[in-house]
Structure 1
C-alpha cells in the first residue's frame, strides 16, 4: 500500500507554520494566562522566558516543539513578547545557545501541561481508531491523516514525524482491507 499519499499542503503544513496565525488563533493558542506566566516566570532571562512561552504556544498550535525559532512568524513573537512585557524580541537569538535548553524546556512543558510522547498506549488507541474508520468506510488516506493529526492534538500527544504517521495509516488500511477481503 502506498505511503506517499499526502498532498503538498499537508506535507508543508504538518508541524510548522504556513503563515501568520489570525487573531482568533493567536488568542486561542498563544494567549498566556496567569498560570502560564507563573510557569514561564521560573525561567531566568528574557530570552528563556520568551523562548519557553513560544514553545508552549507552538505545541498548542502545531502539536510539536520547534527547533528553529526563526520559523515562528513575527506576529506570534511580538504577541507573545507583549504579554511578558518584553520589548526587545531580538533577545530570542540567545534562546537555546546552551545545547540542552530546548530539550529541557520541552520536557518541562510536557510534564507541566501533560503532553505525551507518541508511544503506547496512545499508539494503540490511535491504531484502533484508524482501523475502525478504515473497516467501516473507505476514507482517503489523506483524510485519515488529518483525522489522526486532530486526534493526537486533542489528546495532547506530541506529533510524530509525518512518515511515521503515513506509514501507520498505510499499514492499518492494508490490514483492514485484507480482513474485509477475507470475510
Structure 2
C-alpha cells in the first residue's frame, strides 16, 4: 500500500510553508475587528504580536507556529502593522515558551480550532475516498484535503500524516473502481479479454500487440487492416460495459498505461486489474482506430480524385492536340485547293502534296461547297480534263 504521493522534496516543503508573497499574506493574514479584540487582550506588545502570529498561522497554512521558525518579512511586517506594534518585539515573545502554549490553547478555544483526532480521521477518510474516485493525481487530492482541513479548522499535525491519508485514499478508490468494473463484466467478456493477450495472430505476436501496431502507410490494404482491428475490438465488447461517469479519468489513465504494457506484463497482473486496464485501453483503441480509418479513407478518396483529374486533363489535352492537328491539316488542304483552283493547276496533285488523302475522300473536300455559277468549269481528278458542273457531280457519285 503506498504511503506517500509522488512529489519532489521542494513540492512537499511548500505545502505547509508560511506565505512569503504579498498577495497571499493579504488574502490569508488580514485581521478583522473580532481578531483585533482578542489580540488586544494580551498585555504587552510582544505577547500581542505572538498571539496574532499564532492565530494567522493556524488559519494558513493551518498548523502550529514552530519554535525558532524563521518568519517571512512580508508576513511579519503586515501582521505587526495591523496590531500597531514593532515587528522587532517578536524576539522577546520567542523566549517565552509557557506563554506560547497558553496562548495557543486560548486561540483554539476561542476560534474553534481542533486537533486531528482518531474520530475525526475516520470522518475525513470517508471524505477523501469520495473525492479520490474522480481523480488520478494524488497531489490534487492532497491540496483539496489541505483546503478542507483549513475550512474545518483542523490543525494539521504534519505534512507526512495528511500525505499518508491522501495516498491511502487514492489506493482505496482505485481498488473500489477496479472491483466495481470487474463485477460488471460477464464471463464471456472476461474470457475474450484474457484471449487478447494470450492468443497469437502470428507466431510471435499476440493479438494485443497487433492492435497496438502503428498506422501503416495510406493504401487500400492498410484500410482493410484497420477495419479488421476495429472489428476485433468491438467483438470483445469492452465498449458496452456501462461505468460511472466519475470513473472516466481513471479509465483514461488506464488507457495510457495499457498502451505501454506488453502482453507478458498483462499476464503477470491480477485478473481484475488486467481486465479493467484492458477495458480502458480497448476503448481508446476503438476511438483511435476509427479516426485512423476515417482519415485513411479520406486520403484514398483524395488520391483517387487526383488521379482521375489528372487522367481527365491528359485526355482533354490529347483531344485538343488532335483537333488542332486536324484543323491545321484541313486548312492546309483548303489552301492548296484554293491556290490550285486560282492557278488552274492540278487540284489532286496539290492536295496530295500537302496531305495523304485517298481519292475517295478528295471529292468530299473539293465539293463540300456548292459553286455559285451554274456553268462553272472544274477539272476532273482522274483525267485532268475540264468538265461541267453536272458531269463532275455524276463522276463523283
Q: Same fold (TM over 0.5)?
A: yes
- Quote the Cα distance in structure 1 between the aligned partners of 2:44 and 2:83: 12
Q: Is contact 2:46-2:90 (8 Å) kept?
A: yes
| Contiguous gaps of at least 5 residues in structure 2 | 181-397
| Contiguous gaps of at least 5 residues in structure 1 | none
Give the one of 144, 148, 156 matched to 2:145.
148
SS at match of 1:3: coil
Alignment map for 1:103-142 (pairs within 5 Å): 103-134=101-132, 136-142=133-139
2:155 aligned residue: 158
Deviation, 1:128, is: 0.8
- Quote the Cα distance in structure 1 between the aligned partners of 2:164 and 2:104: 26
Larger radius of gyration: 2
1:75 aligned residue: 74
Q: Is contact 2:67-2:94 (8 Å) kept?
A: no
SS at match of 2:127: helix
RMSD: 2.1
Q: Is contact 1:50-1:92 (8 Å) kept?
A: yes
Alignment map for 1:24-39 (pairs within 5 Å): 24-39=23-38
- Quote the Cα distance in structure 1 between the aligned partners of 2:53 and 2:15: 18
SS at match of 2:115: coil
2:55 aligned residue: 56
Q: Is contact 1:7-1:142 (8 Å) kept?
A: no
**CA deviation vs aligned residue, 1:39-68 (integer Å, no higher than 9, x gap):** 111212111100111111112221112124
1:15 aligned residue: 16
TM-score between both structures, scaled by the size of structure 1? 0.85
**CA deviation vs aligned residue, 1:49-108 (integer Å, no higher than 9, x gap):** 00111111112221112124642111221111122221x322111114232222222111
- Quote the Cα distance in structure 1 between the aligned partners of 2:27 and 2:164: 31
TM-score between both structures, scaled by the size of structure 2? 0.42
Specify whether residues 37 and 141 from structure 1 end up closer, same or farther in structure 2 by C-alpha distance, changes over 3 A only: same
- Quote the Cα distance in structure 2 between the aligned partners of 1:106 and 1:139: 37
Alignment map for 1:76-95 (pairs within 5 Å): 76-86=75-85, 88-95=86-93
Specify whether residues 181 and 95 from structure 1 end up closer, same or farther in structure 2 by C-alpha distance, changes over 3 A only: same
Deviation, 1:168, is: 1.6
- Quote the Cα distance in structure 2 between the aligned partners of 1:148 and 1:125: 12
Query: Greater relative contact order: 1 or 2 (C-alpha under 8 angstroms, separation 6 or more)?
Result: 1
**CA deviation vs aligned residue, 1:128-171 (integer Å, no higher than 9, x gap):** 1211233x334222221111111111111111311111222232
Aligned residues: 179
- Quote the Cα distance in structure 2 between the aligned partners of 1:101 and 1:51: 9
1:3 aligned residue: 3
Specify whether residues 130 and 13 from structure 1 end up closer, same or farther in structure 2 by C-alpha distance, changes over 3 A only: same
Specify whether residues 178 and 29 from structure 1 end up closer, same or farther in structure 2 by C-alpha distance, changes over 3 A only: closer
